[in-house]
Chain A
Amino acid sequence: MALELPKLTYSGKIKEITLGSGDTAIKVGGETSYPFFTFEGTMPNLPRIAMEVYDSTPQDWAPAALEPFNGVISDPLAWAQKCVADYGAEMICLQLSSTDPNGANADAETAAATVKKVSDGIKVPLIVWGTANHEKDTDVLRRVCEAVQDRKLVIGPVEEGDYKKIAAVALGYGHTIAASSPIDINLAKQLNILLSNLGVPDNQVVLDPTVSSIGYGIEYCYSVIERIRMAALTQQDEKLAAPIIMNVARETWKSKEAKMATELDPKLGDSRKRGILLEAMSAWALLLAGGDVAVMRHPEAIKLVKSMITDMSQS
């Protein structure tokens, strides 16, 4: 008797959403099975990687994370263009770190002008990320939405504390919203209900369940993403059936382990390799849980993750 492998049948489907617009628009989501379970369902769009760009010169970064961007780290447009031209970035995530009220606290006008400049200078889909300060993000992200009217952005983080004002403007200009909740499946669902009560269509929302890196509670994030996918695919929970975006790089590279020089603790191994591997393995673990877009930094970490995506999808 031939061995018959048990298979799960799914009752739900992840929504397929288009990020960006025009020729370079990218579709994400659309899965009808758990990630890479292509023997049980389909995964029409493989996970995508967005490359990070910062709108202020990075301070306190590991040399390994700076080295690929030598000469462009103080120019967000040049940085974004380098990511596309030299490293083949298929999406850019512009982090508006300059607007942090605890840092440079740049005003909304300046930030919006930077976003517009980057938006005009690249063709790939653009994700714009604030500082998660509700008041400041309300101000900044609304201006950003207004400043870019000729293409569709992804705007985040939109949280329970600021969704009303940001989502209303994003909706008005047709931008996609990254609905961000603090590692809690119930709150993730709650925010999506609130957004849909506000009139935001499902095809304009991606979920940001909040992630961390290896060594900093990644298993908890993994479990939340996994449960979101289970609810969406096996319980037809429409409010959780959205593609998932994950800010992996920021979380990974801020850790002590990613930054510490080799000579400070030789038994942890080569510092450069360590940071890259931490980023790659964190992203990969979260993609296996169900992520659709990983925001990443180091070109070598991205290369590793992409090769793993290819391997998994070909077998």
Chain B
Amino acid sequence: MILVGENINIMSQTLGPAMKERQAAPIRKMAQDEDTAGVDYLDLNIGPARKTGAELMPWLVQTVQEVSSRPLSLDTTNPDATEAGLKVCKGRALVNSVSLQPERLEKILPLVKKFNSEVIGLLWGVDGMPRDVNERCMLTVDLVYKFNEMGIPNEDIWIDPIATPVTGEISQVKACLEFFQMLPEIAPGCKSIVGLSNVSNGTPSHLRPWLNRTYLVMLERSGLYSAIADATDPELIAIARGLKPGTVSLIHKAMDGADIDTASLSPDEIKYVKTVRVLMGEALYSHAWLES
């Protein structure tokens, strides 16, 4: 499992202001922490950054490159910011992201070609969010066709089917699981990625790791290649690195609906089983899902 650290983000209450004021120290610190935690890529999320993106992104890239040699994911909807970032990026960057919206295709895709980057193909259609696994498959076909036309090979395309919160429609949470099983047939050679923490958006922050970790194991079983994830959760990274085979097999057993004798499980193991039940749609989510 390839991990892309999500923590350098304009939405962060400490790093957001640091970015705006061009304070390098907190950014460097987070980049170092993510690097030490052992993620493979660092995502640099500056949001839409309509006004100052073209100055902010290259500054951020250079600041992070001072302390980490990990490849970078340039996360913005502003094409000028993407281009300015790509210009100063030392290694091969991952452009996050290009969807089927004409503006993104026309402005960002040529940059991917020009700088020989890799690119996240976001399954966001002209009509917005796909409603189920079939719409995700249709969007994938369209998207890969457009990318190939531009000369971008499947190997450089990372498909993101958009993970949605457990508090919303559970069928959408399950749709991602199904999608990754189908992806190799629809788009052979393409990689895949999700914004993992989306699944726990809107849930109590101290409980989010249970949802993130469990969903990661479930998605990996379906064939997920990489995840944009919280680098500050060591347990999540241990799971992604294959260091928690017991947890993984327990989650698989719970997914298969096996009869699990919870009396023999530790409190943490019971939490994983309960979280699988919620993510599979067998029990309806509430903030007290671990206690009920």
Contacts and interface: CB of A to CB of B under 8 A. Distances in A.
A231 B288 CA distance: 16
B287 interface: yes
Contacts, number: 29
Contacts of A186: 167, 284-287
Nearest to A238: B292
Interface size class of B (residues with CB under 8 A): 10 to 19
A240 B284 contact: yes
B283 A235 contact: yes
A186 to B, nearest CB: 5
Interface in B263-292: 282-288, 291-292
Contacts of A185: 284
5 contacts: A185-B284, A186-B287, A187-B286, A189-B286, A193-B288
Contact of A237 (B167, B283, B287, B291): B283
Interface in A225-263: 231, 235, 237, 239-240
Given A186-B167, A239-B292, A193 B286 contact: yes
A225 to B, nearest CB: 14
A202 to B, nearest CB: 13
A186 B286 CA distance: 5
A42 interface: no
A197 B286 CA distance: 14
A193 B284 contact: no
A190 B286 contact: yes
Contacts of A190: 286-288
A190 B202 CA distance: 14
B139 to A, nearest CB: 25
B292 A193 contact: yes
A240 B292 CA distance: 12
A10 to B, nearest CB: 16
B288 A194 contact: yes
A190 B154 CA distance: 44
Contacts of A231: 284
Contacts of B283: 235, 237
Contacts of B282: 235
Nearest to A192: B286
Contacts of A193: 286, 288, 291-292
